[in-house]
Chain A
Amino acid sequence: MTQHTHSDVRFLMGNEAIGRGIIEAGCSVVAAYPGTPSSEVLESLVRWKREANHPVYLEWSINEKVAIEVAYGASLSGVRSAAVMKMVGLNVASDPFLSAAYLGVRGGMVLVVADDPGPHSSQTEQDSRFFAWFAKVPVLDPGTPAEALEMTRRAFELSEKYEVPVVLRPCLRVCHARQNVRLGELHPSVEVGPFKKNWQRWAAIPRFRLILHKELNEKLKTIRTEEPDAKPQAIVNGSGNTLAVITSGSVSSHVRDVVDSDQRLAGIDVYKVNLPFPADADALQAIVDAHELTLMVEETYPVLELQLLDRRKVEGRQSGFVPSQGELVPETVEDLIVSAAGLQPTLRTPPQVKPRRPTLCPGCPHRPAFFMIRKVFGKAVYTGDIGCYTLGINMGAVDTCLCMGASVGMAGGFVRGFKAEEEATLVATIGDSTFFHSGVPALINAVHTKSPFVLVIMDNRITAMTGGQPTPASDYLVDGAAATPVDMERLVTGCGVDFLQVVDPYDHDGLEDTLQKARAFTYDERKGVSVVITRRPCVRVPNAELSSDRFLVNDEVCDHCMTCIRDLECPAFHYRKDEKRMEIDTDLCTGCGFCVHVCPAQAIEPKKA
């Protein structure tokens, strides 16, 4: 988001364009939880707010459920609001989401929910348009960053007009695309007047919920029949009657480019639906009826396809023509359209791609923590969680990864299945931000039920995986305003934990000693859950405490046991097969020095400056 004061066109990431749309719409409150591919929306809002001197209130909420509740409260108070998350965040927030659909909103309320077909950085390929349908909430599906800005503004208007929450569903290829985007006018805060008490609406008991459900159904019917976005728009006019393509969202951009780039496809009609739910199903059916064949190309579930009543002349996911999983990349889209047109698809030899696996950064404080957990607990079961430290799988220190907070919850169940004679042990690992997000209730559960496991909270003082967002332990909010830092030790103790120790993971002996004590508390003394906080700031934050020390491998001492590569998994180590020697890449090394203690042959020595 570079500055151009003389111009109103900028090269913006889709998420920055959505942030801009939120502020152009006169939104007053935005609450979010970071998650790829959504995180840059709130981050860009910090910059838009500063640039426009806009009064919008911004927060990273503790989790997505709270984010939606904060946005919903703001909407009832009479201002426009937004909640921003990735699609699995909507699972966490589904309770307020579905209820808010019935109750309705006052100030326009938009939920930005970023989908990740592929998936590239997520646990599922779920389609938030389908979730919106389930919740009976209208959903807009932008195709490009420029369109995302426009649609964000329209989403607020739609929400306010019908008094329903509206979902904006950008896919990864919109969120993390960049495009030259024309900025619009900034609006001051839009308000609908102060909150008026009305318990039959805002605290509706079941009897009134039935009435509200009927009202919601009527709103959806009106939107379906009257809103222009619910109708398919012709984006490529082939003026033929043989083949039509109906598409939506980011994949519509691939469709458009594929059809535009191939003369043989010039006769195809392409229609795009901006509001895939509630779509004007009659208009969709009319397209199907007017063509010999209609191909449905949408990410990732058959949302438009399922709204068609007669699918006999339709190819899509339901007919098996379109793959039921995986991202619809342009090559796939080309093959689908070319095949549907009765032409021979291009012969493709699958590229020989061997992607490098992601690893914890050199100097990452999680690395020594995982190394020592493995050393102390050996063949224990390791429940893991969502964050950079999921990469503990590379070190054999993460066996499971379900969803945010599940390392703690699952641990409580795993230990019930262990047979007494096995002497089984379990270590759960979770990051600080994930612990705040959803680990806390699970820890209370574990304390209360006397669950015998060791919990290691890997506290790097930041939400690292998603780009370094503050956590509830930070003393600042996203825009730099003062925050009250929540003390993790007080929180853990408050959960009822009797064993809590904090240790620096770079402290080799201290770390080993602390983990041994936790093991003794939980397994020898059988006193229930023990908690160890391994605390050291992420090496990627600006105030990281990096060392200028560097190390080298003494070739005469090194016996090539590979502990540094296999067990410590430090990316700074390279084994030169040709020279049969181990070396340390000083560009990558951050000087943490943990390897010095780990090397069985004691071959690693300080490098003299």
Chain B
Amino acid sequence: MYEIILCGRGGQGIVFLTRLIGDIATERGLGVISSETHGMAVRGGSINSHLRIGPFYSPLIREGRADVLVSLDPAETANNVHFLKPGGVTVENSPGPDDSAVRRIDASRLAREIGRVQLENVVVLGFASTLAGFPVSSEEIAARLSKDPRETVRAMNLKALELGAAFGSGRA
């Protein structure tokens, strides 16, 4: 069983990440259910996704039960940190050093450096995939992203993923 909250602002690609992880879990034959935000809130408002891998029926994670919080916007972390279980880890898109509960990566800067700030979501996912216990590996994510028929999008996503994963494994 593994439960993930993903949060950020509308337009940052939270739903894309949720689907990516869910697709991989589905392909592996795992039970997976998630919930995502649509509607008015996606106009720049606060949004989050819940993703649960295991024998669940409800798509929502209760407070204090998530294994990891993946935050694409540091301003949104505080709005979702109550979902984390004691000892749970936050992965945050922000500059600055790690502390005991928060692992940080300046994904916006890294994404901008490869040409598109919009790739920050994939950079953060690459970073998160290097966490101990994270349910999908960067190889599985890469295999999934490689299926995108659009050549430029595919190449950019793979590059963003590699950047995040390299940062997480101390290679960058």
Q: A177-B35, A331-B63 are in contact. Are A253 and B58 (CB under 8 A)?
A: yes
Q: Pick the contact of B75 from A177, A351, A356 — CB < 8 Å?
A: A356
- Contact in complex: A358, B10 (CB < 8 Å): yes
Interface string of B111-144 (1 = CB under 8 A from A): 0100001000000000000000000000000000
Chain A residue nearest to B83 (CB atoms) is: A351
**Closest Cβ neighbor of B31 among chain A residues:** A180
Task: Find residues 148-172 in chain B having any chain A CB closer than 8 Å to their own CB.
Answer: none
**A178 touching B58 in the complex, CB below 8 Å, given contacts A355-B79, A356-B44:** no
Interface residue B33 (Cβ < 8 Å from any Cβ of A): yes
Interface residues of A in 104-147 (CB under 8 A from B): 120-121, 143-145
Bound-state CA distance A99–B64 (Å) is 49
Question: Could you tell me which residues of chain B, from 70 to 89, have a CB within 8 Å of some CB in chain A?
Answer: 75-76, 78-79, 81-82
> Complex: how many Å from CA A351 to CA B76?
13
Q: Chain B interface: which size bin?
A: 35 or more
Within 8 A of B (CB), among A456-470: 465-467
Chain A residue at smallest Cβ distance from B60: A330
Which residues from B are CB-within-8-Å of A180?
22, 25-26, 30-33
Given A257-B58, A348-B63, also A177-B33 (CB < 8 A): yes
Q: Contact at A358–B40, with CB atoms within 8 Å?
A: yes
List B contacts of A391 (CB < 8 A). 40, 43
Give the docked Cα–Cα distance between A178 and B58 (Å): 10
Contact size range, A? 35 or more
CB atoms of B33 and A334 under 8 A apart: no
Q: Of the candidates A9, A177, A329, A352, which one forms a contact with B26 in the assembled complex, judged by CB atoms under 8 Å apart?
A: A9
Q: Which residues of A contact B44 (CB under 8 A)?
A: 356, 358-359, 361, 571
> Which secondary structure dominates where chain B touches chain A?
mixed
Cα distance, A120 to B45, chains bound together (Å): 12
Q: How far is the CB of B119 from chain A (nearest CB, A)?
A: 12
- A144:B57 contact, CB within 8 angstroms: yes
Asked if B59 contacts A253 (CB within 8 A), the reply is yes
Given contacts A4-B27, A11-B26, 11 further A-B contacts (CB under 8 A): A173-B58, A177-B33, A178-B59, A329-B60, A357-B45, A358-B44, A359-B44, A390-B40, A391-B43, A465-B40, A587-B117
Q: List residues of A (47-84) whose CB comes within 8 Å of B's CBs.
A: none
Across the interface, do A330 and B75 meet the contact criterion of CB distance under 8 Å? no
B96 contacts partner chain A, Cβ-Cβ < 8 Å: no
- Contact partner of A256 (CB less than 8 A), chosen from B9, B41, B57, is B57
Given A179-B32, A587-B117, the answer on whether A355 and B60 have CB atoms closer than 8 Å is: no
Distance in angstroms from A368 CB to nearest chain B CB is 17
Do A465 and B39 touch (CB < 8 A)?
yes
Is A265 positioned at the interface, with any CB of B under 8 Å from its CB? no
Binary contact track B65-107/A, C-beta < 8 Å → 1, others 0: 0000000000110110110000000000000000000000000
A residues near B (Cβ < 8 Å) are 2, 4, 7, 9-11, 13, 36-37, 39, 120-121, 143-145, 173, 176-180, 252-254, 256-257, 329-331, 334, 348, 351-361, 388, 390-391, 465-467, 571, 587
Q: Given the known A-B contacts A11-B32, A351-B63, A351-B82, are A178 and B45 also in contact in the complex, defined by CB atoms under 8 Å?
A: no
Partner of A178, one of B34, B60, B78: B34
Known A-B contacts A253-B57, A358-B41, A391-B43; A178 and B82 likewise in contact (beta carbons under 8 Å): no
Measured CB to CB, the closest approach of chain A to B147, in angstroms, equals 8
Instruction: Tell me the bound Cα distance from A253 to B31 in angstroms.
Output: 14
Q: Please report the C-alpha to C-alpha distance between residue A257 and residue B3 in the assembled complex, in whole angstroms.
A: 13
Given that A178-B22, A348-B63 are contacting pairs, would A37 and B32 also be in contact in the complex, using a CB cutoff of 8 Å? no
29 contacts between A and B (CB under 8 A): A2-B19, A4-B27, A9-B29, A11-B19, A11-B22, A13-B36, A36-B39, A121-B40, A144-B59, A176-B37, A177-B36, A177-B59, A178-B32, A178-B34, A179-B32, A179-B33, A257-B58, A330-B60, A334-B62, A355-B41, A355-B79, A356-B46, A356-B76, A358-B43, A359-B43, A390-B40, A391-B43, A466-B39, A467-B38
Q: How far is the CA of A571 from the CA of B73 in the complex (A)?
A: 15
Whether B26 and A10, one on each chain, are in contact in the complex, defined by CB atoms closer than 8 angstroms, is yes
CA distance A177 to B108 in the complex (A): 28
**Closest residue of B by beta carbon distance from A3:** B147
Complex-state Cα separation, A449 to B123, whole angstroms = 59
CB distance from B144 to the nearest CB of A (A): 9
In the assembly, what is the distance between CA of A358 and CA of B38, in Å?
A: 12
Most buried by A among B26, B45, B112: B26
Residues of B near A334 (CB, < 8 A) are 62
Smallest CB–CB gap between A58 and chain B, Å?
20
Residues in chain B near residue A11, CB distance under 8 A = 19, 22-23, 25-26, 32
Taken together as a complex, chains A and B put the C-alpha atoms of A179 and B56 apart, in Å, by 10
Q: Which residue of B lies closest to A465 (CB)?
A: B40
